Amino acid sequence: MTGAGGNIVWQSSKVSRSQRPHEGATLWLTGLSGSGKSSLAIELERCLVADGHPAYLMDGDNLRHGLNSDLGFSDDDRRENIRRTSEVAALFADSGAIAIVGLISPFASERQRAREIHAERGLPFHEIFLDTPLAECERRDPKGLYVRARRGEIPHFTGIDSPYERPQHADIVVTPADGTPTQVAALVLRTLGLGPQGQDQEEDR
Ligand SMILES: Nc1ncnc2c1ncn2[C@@H]1O[C@H](COP(=O)(O)OS(=O)(=O)O)[C@@H](OP(=O)(O)O)[C@H]1O
Ligand SMILES: Nc1ncnc2c1ncn2[C@@H]1O[C@H](COP(=O)(O)OP(=O)(O)O)[C@@H](O)[C@H]1O
């Protein structure tokens, strides 16, 4: 495989995926600001690590402090934010880790591209939609961002004056009625077959 005008040549590893101790995957959490992505992602990471899976949380806010610190909230910058994060998540998944991504990721086309980046490499990818209505996100407003966005102090705020394209084919849809982040994390992990090892999972029901 060649790239960059033919001057870059792909170097293959001598470690096959089956030689790695764990099977990797990406759990991609999408939803409005305040929908509960970080809370669920933190619980997913906690449960997976407690159960012996290498798992790593990639939160949009945190990535924007480093890897994506040069990006703002224009449509193009959000696309680049999602593209870079997709690539990094795929690297983690390829290494045998479970990458837990929490990004608003408002555009269907970029979420589809994230899925394809994983599919092209044979890596499992699960889209989890935090389907929390805008009114509820605004009611929660833990960072006071919606109040400021409504005052016009934060331009291009998702759900206010920047679009959020609802997923049509998410693997899992979570609503506020599903319970606390701890309850939802357990449900998600059971659904994906990543629940506690060596336990009768019926016990949890
Ligand atoms: N204009 C605008 N629109 C939406 N969100 C904004 C904006 N400005 C700052 N913030 C804060 O940035 C967090 C979202 O970053 P993401 O990288 O997840 O966004 S995106 O996927 O690129 O759309 C988001 O964090 P969460 O609340 O955790 O979603 C906000 O705290
Ligand atoms: N399942 C839930 N039920 C009720 N409140 C929740 C739930 N998940 C998160 N929250 C609350 O909603 C707010 C936003 O959650 P957060 O995880 O920061 O969302 P996001 O990362 O999508 O911005 C926080 O105050 C959090 O405590």
pLDDT digits (tens, 9 = 90+) for 31-89: 999 999 999 999 999 999 999 999 999 999 999 999 999 999 999 999 999 999 999 99
d(CA 136, CA 188): 22
Report the pLDDT value the prediction gives residue 200, as an integer from 0 to 100: 41
Predicted confidence band of residue 90 (pLDDT cuts 50, 70, 90): very high
User: What are the pLDDT digits (tens) for 173-204?
Assistant: 999 999 999 999 999 999 999 988 644 444 44
Q: Evaluate whether 174 touches 129 at the Cβ level (below 8 Å).
A: yes
Annotated binding residue 3: no
Report phi then psi at 98, rounded to 5: -100, 110
Domain edges within the chain: 18-190
Residue scoring higher pLDDT (152 or 203)? 152
State the chain's mean pLDDT as an integer: 93
Report the pLDDT value the prediction gives residue 133, as an integer from 0 to 100: 98
Report the pLDDT value the prediction gives residue 137, as an integer from 0 to 100: 98
What amino acid is encoded at 2 in this protein?
T
Which residue, by CA, sits nearest to atom 6 of ligand 1?
157
105 part of the active site = yes
First and final C-alpha spacing in the chain: 48
Determine the topology of domain 18-190 in CATH. Rossmann fold (3.40.50)
| Three-state secondary structure of 123-188 | CCEEEEEECCCHHHHHHHCCCCHHHHHHCCCCCCCECCCECCCCCCCCCEEECHHHCCHHHHHHHH
Whether the per-residue pLDDT at 205 is higher than 50: the answer is no
Annotated binding residue 36: yes
Mutate to test the pocket of ligand 2, among 45, 105, 139, 140 (most ligand atoms within 8 A of CB): 140
Single pTM value for the model: 0.95
d(CA 32, CA 73): 14
ipTM (interface predicted TM): 0.99
Report the pLDDT value the prediction gives residue 21, as an integer from 0 to 100: 86
Q: Which of 75, 21, 13, 80 is CA-nearest to residue 52?
A: 21
Which tokens sit at 82? 């999602």
Q: Evaluate whether 137 touches 93 at the Cβ level (below 8 Å).
A: no
Please compute the mean of the pLDDT values over residues 95-106 and round it to a whole number: 98
Residue scoring higher pLDDT (5 or 38)? 38
